[in-house]
Structure 1
Amino acid sequence: MASNVLFILSDEHARDIAGCYGNQIVQTPNIDALAGRGVRFDNAYCNSPICVPSRASLATGNYPHRTGYWDNAHPFDGGVPTWHHHLRDAGHNVVSIGKLHYRDAGDDAGCSQSLHPIYVPDGQGDVIGLLRKDGQPRKAASAMAEKAARGMSDYAAFDDRVAGAATDWLRARSGGAGKPWVLYVSFVIPHFPLIAPPDFFALYDDADIPLPDQYGHDERPRHPGIDAYRQSFNYDDYFDEDSLRTALQAAGLEEDTLVIYASDHGESLGNRGLWGKSVFYDDACAIPMIMAGPGIKAGTKNSTPCSLVDLYPTILGAAGRRLNAREHKLPGSDLRAFLDRPAPQRAVFSEYHAAGSTSGGFMLRKGDWKLIYYVGHPPQLFHLPSDPREKHDLAGQESTAEIQAMLETELRQIVDPEAADAKAFADQARRIAALGGEDTIRARSEIGFTPAPKG
């Protein structure tokens, strides 16, 4: 039976920062309540740990190396079909409220209507991030650290408007009449700046909050791919230990609406001396994924590895639409197929070609194992059940050589890492030239984060 769909996306929400995922400190009652009446996917990942390519993968159901939306300066422009296009063209009302992070309003992104959208700045995005090989520290790092405080931010005010608009939109459909709909509600928080509204800040005592994992300089893992990111996004230079110390039910739509909650990527939160996203540790790459609605058993957990590209067929399936011939070739699967038959050995894939990386990075999670493959640098290999904090890199050991080779073979069935890396750098070089060259780009003001539109 077809359902309406409410898809809620947050920005930079690390999977483990939620009560329903086992966090004993943070208070997330609404997310926990959604998990309580639905299914929690315990092994969900983004397809690129940075905003623009991750959101493009979510929209298109495909990977960055297949679409060319490599980084925050190659924003989605409507040029690749999306689930929004499919449903709108099939007669559904597809409405987005909040952050899209696509190129600009002039592109046809497939929505029937977009309320309070956020696009990339000037239709160009973070062009300084195209200069990947120099490894220079980003100037915006100090500004991000300086803003960390209690108070009200433009993002908090923006999210209030998004929530209000979404509530009003759902209330207007309380009678149940009208054509089928998909409502895509996209919040900005918890994306930095790290400014907490006073009421929320007051819920926590500094003494109860532990320091980030592997925060001491002698504890931090050393790897050329991670070191390059830490040098470029040197947020931690500006922190120290002292500074670290619903509407559906009301509208009567709960019974015939599939609700999905996810985030575009995670956040390192100081673990290993890293802040932001852009790496393949679970802090930055793993995301919450929760679904509730018709046919979903309440309070269940699912071990199936999954990712944002799976939402394309999931949303279409819930809305009662069949995949066309092109869509059958997409890498994702309808997650509802795993509700009664989890597939813990399923493989999921992520990649990174953006700011802070001197070469392409690729991740394959399969079963208990995670392989991180860097072009031109040593790989990393983690056994997650025995090492959930990913402290022990097992790559290059005789005892794990067979599993490492098997994972790399499976990775290469998805992508040729070296070819994708070369293509990303070639596309970025063309973009740099089109923008006037490296010197012109360096002279621009750096973007720390995309500003929210004023009310």
Structure 2
Amino acid sequence: MRINNLKYAILILISLLDVKNSNGQSKPNILWIITDDHRPDSIEYFNEVTTGKKESSLGYVSSPNINKMAKEGTMFTNAFCNSPMCTPSRSSMQSGRYPFRSGHYKFKSNQTAEHTRPTVSQTLRENGYGTAVFGKTGWGIQNKGGDKAFYDHTIQFGRDLLRQGFGDIYTSGGKYEFPDGIFEVVYSDETVIYPDGKTVSYRKQQRDGEILKKDKVLKTKIDEEFDILRVYTRPNQGLIIGGVNPQPIGKTLDSYVLQEFENYLKNQDKRFKTLAGKEIDGASSTKPLMVNIGYTWPHTPVLPPKKFRDKFKNKKYNIPEFSTDELSNFPPQLVTLYNECKADQLTDEEKLQAIQDYYAFCAYGDALIGESVEAFKKYCKKNKQEYIIIFTIGDHGWHLGEQGIMAKFGPWKQSVHNAAIVVSSDKNKFPAGKVVDNIVEFVDFAPTMLTSAGININEEKYNYLDGYNLAEVISKPEETNREYAIGEVNVVCGHRAFMRTKDFGFSMRTRDRWDVANSTNLNKDIQWALTCERLKADMALYDLRVDPLEKHNLANDKKYLALADWFRNKLGSIVLGDGRAEVDWIKPNSYSISNFAGGADDKKLSIPKNIIPEI
């Protein structure tokens, strides 16, 4: 028995030694929080440091816990997603690669193609970390190993919570098609979970034939009971953009995500049961910890609990102005986007409710953020471990009527301009109260975590990383300076890339077909967007110096023609010719890499002064 105890003690000691990184320093615990469709202007501190006012441009917001967090760490006010859609955005964060380099532009990808690389969680696990994810995953990367291939433990919000009776209102079934790339609901079912555990399900939308009368009656009853506002002006009419949550505080979906995370920390070095009764291991004291919390708020259904909703229901807001006259300036691709996501035909009362409920939902989420951070810091203190907390404020943004839509998917500020906060026990790396307005991108999170873990990302095997270590954005601002942010997506309106600079917002169509993800089309006619007629490139150019709300597309304005053409060549060369990957994800290893403009992504603009119009 004594010998066995001695062996056990030695194993524990060896494991504890592994908590040190290659430089002999302590490997910090890592908490990575990601919210969903989250506008940074819902945060008072962000508004204060960027505009001098606590309120957003639309009106009142409340975020005491995130304010506190920001003051304890460093806020990056110009953080840009690399795709304005959940899956490719989260994939870019997990992989540290631009969508055009990974070939992941829409929903699904996998790790069988030779050009794919490990996710940040996989690399951290290989370097001694215990890993877990709670809530929304949504990175759309498939692996034969399933969940275990990415994290040691996965509690997924749909499979492990909603479908087990832990949550509120959710889409419980459906079928969707994409004729010509356009999203189309064949049918969609919805389920409501009441506080006593009772559930009610009904069909909320159906393309063909009549919905059964009993389903219509149930849906109408639910809509009235919870003051549900659906965005009935767009094809996906069942989408909930306002209402009161059927559950009280503590029993919403995201409350259960938080509970699962807290239970994981509380049951350190023990086996325990999740809320749904699945047995898993708690956090290990013998390994540094990396946890990803994927909160689903304020993504639809936008349903703040009553206590928070009541604080906002009488607040007045500035409703974004939009006229269909603006559509005359939209290129055809963005007209398609508008038609798929339009909300300008809602009444002013409905628009006001959508804004009130959105910011109320964010305020509720702020409370969850505060509790998450405190639980994690308490765990680290108990174990005498260093830590780093990364808060990605939205996997992308959300329009509340700007450009006439209530959605994401666009190349505009409200879709792609986010923010981030990093708090570290090492204040030399991420100083308290520091605000950084340099352009950073979501591909920066992976190298930041890897470097924090003591991994040398300058080694050749990490050359695939497209981002910078955020600590070096602070300590080496000249070496890590970007003059633009870039991204691409292929949903709703087809392949479209964007480039954001301090003064301009530019976007363009990148492919002349909806989907190239089959082996016969990979990188075929790859320079089309650079050589086709100007109008076919569907360019949009906004002069943010005079038009911060992006209401006037100047791509075809005589004064801006040369500038638009310059952006077309710069952005097109990067996303089409500097390592562009196109992949047939159905096949195990079918891909093509385009390198006709290798090195084009130099992070510099160098726009000739004579083509920039004076203002």
The TM-score normalised by the length of structure 2 is 0.61
Residue 53 in structure 1 maps to residue 88 in structure 2: yes
AA matched with 2:312:
Y
State the partner residue of 2:488.
Answer: 351
State the partner residue of 1:215.
Answer: 322
Does the CA contact (< 8 Å) of 2:29 and 2:290 recur in 1? yes
Residue aligned with 1:33, SS:
helix
Residue aligned with 2:422, SS:
strand
Aligned-partner Cα distance in 2 for 1:44–1:280: 14
Structure of greater relative contact order (alpha carbons < 8 Å, 6+ residues apart): 1
Residue aligned with 1:58, SS:
helix
Residue 131 in structure 1 maps to residue 291 in structure 2: no
Residue 152 in structure 1 maps to residue 246 in structure 2: yes
Aligned-partner Cα distance in 1 for 2:467–2:388: 18
Greater alpha carbon shift after TM alignment, 42-51 vs 343-352: 343-352
Which one of the candidate residues 460, 464, 475 is aligned to 1:340?
A: 475
Q: Report the CA distance shift for 1:64/1:344 in structure 2 as closer, same or farther (over 3 A).
A: closer
State the partner residue of 2:440.
Answer: 306
AA matched with 1:112:
D
Does the CA contact (< 8 Å) of 2:389 and 2:422 recur in 1? yes
Residue 393 in structure 1 maps to residue 553 in structure 2: yes
State the partner residue of 2:464.
Answer: 329
Does the CA contact (< 8 Å) of 1:56 and 1:76 recur in 2? no
Task: Count the aligned residue pairs.
Answer: 419
Q: Report the CA distance shift for 1:109/1:230 in structure 2 as closer, same or farther (over 3 A).
A: farther
Aligned-partner Cα distance in 1 for 2:82–2:174: 19
Matches within 5 A, 1:95-110: 95-101=132-138, 102=140, 106=146, 108-110=148-150
Gaps of 5+ in 1: 432-455
Does the CA contact (< 8 Å) of 1:78 and 1:109 recur in 2? no
Residue aligned with 2:238, SS:
helix
Aligned-partner Cα distance in 1 for 2:110–2:296: 18
AA matched with 1:338:
V
Aligned-partner Cα distance in 2 for 1:278–1:6: 27
Matches within 5 A, 1:38-437: 38-72=73-107, 74-75=108-109, 80=116, 81-101=118-138, 102=140, 106=146, 108-118=148-158, 128=176, 130-133=178-181, 141-145=236-240, 148-152=242-246, 157-171=252-266, 177-211=285-319, 213-218=320-325, 222-237=330-345, 239-245=346-352, 246-253=374-381, 256-262=386-392, 263-293=394-424, 294=426, 295-323=429-457, 324-342=459-477, 345-354=482-491, 356-357=492-493, 359-375=494-510, 376-401=536-561, 403-416=563-576, 427=584
Q: CA deviation at 1:419?
A: 11
Q: Report the CA distance shift for 1:397/1:415 in structure 2 as closer, same or farther (over 3 A).
A: same
AA matched with 2:549:
R
- Give percent identity, aligned residues only: 22
Matches within 5 A, 1:7-46: 7-22=32-47, 24=55, 25-46=60-81
Does the CA contact (< 8 Å) of 2:483 and 2:502 recur in 1? yes
Does the CA contact (< 8 Å) of 1:11 and 1:264 recur in 2? yes
Does the CA contact (< 8 Å) of 1:82 and 1:109 recur in 2? no
Does the CA contact (< 8 Å) of 2:92 and 2:98 recur in 1? yes
Does the CA contact (< 8 Å) of 1:304 and 1:344 recur in 2? yes
Q: Alpha-carbon deviations, 1:339-393, whole Å to 9, x = none?
A: 1344554332110101x21x31101123432221124343112233443222233
Does the CA contact (< 8 Å) of 1:6 and 1:259 recur in 2? yes
Q: Report the CA distance shift for 1:87/1:419 in structure 2 as closer, same or farther (over 3 A).
A: closer
Does the CA contact (< 8 Å) of 2:473 and 2:481 recur in 1? no
Q: CA deviation at 1:173?
A: 6.0
Q: CA deviation at 1:10?
A: 0.7
AA matched with 1:374:
R
Aligned-partner Cα distance in 1 for 2:259–2:548: 38
Q: Alpha-carbon deviations, 1:6-42, whole Å to 9, x = none?
A: 1001111022222122151111222221111111112
Q: CA deviation at 1:199?
A: 1.0
Aligned-partner Cα distance in 1 for 2:42–2:325: 25
Aligned-partner Cα distance in 1 for 2:566–2:385: 44
Greater alpha carbon shift after TM alignment, 312-321 vs 166-175: 166-175
State the partner residue of 2:359.
Answer: none
Residue aligned with 1:301, SS:
strand
Q: Report the CA distance shift for 1:398/1:350 in structure 2 as closer, same or farther (over 3 A).
A: same
AA matched with 1:98:
G
Does the CA contact (< 8 Å) of 1:52 and 1:75 recur in 2? no
Gaps of 5+ in 2: 1-24, 48-53, 164-172, 187-204, 206-234, 270-282, 353-373, 511-535, 588-615
Aligned-partner Cα distance in 2 for 1:266–1:400: 28
Aligned-partner Cα distance in 2 for 1:137–1:197: 28
Aligned-partner Cα distance in 2 for 1:110–1:137: 31
Does the CA contact (< 8 Å) of 2:177 and 2:185 recur in 1? no
State the partner residue of 1:445.
Answer: none
AA matched with 2:134:
I
AA matched with 2:391:
Y
Aligned-partner Cα distance in 1 for 2:112–2:74: 32
AA matched with 1:151:
N
State the partner residue of 1:442.
Answer: none
Matches within 5 A, 1:434-453: none
Residue aligned with 1:303, SS:
strand
Q: Report the CA distance shift for 1:382/1:137 in structure 2 as closer, same or farther (over 3 A).
A: farther
Q: Report the CA distance shift for 1:172/1:222 in structure 2 as closer, same or farther (over 3 A).
A: same
| Superposed CA RMSD | 3.6
AA matched with 1:9:
I
AA matched with 2:436:
N
Q: CA deviation at 1:167?
A: 2.6
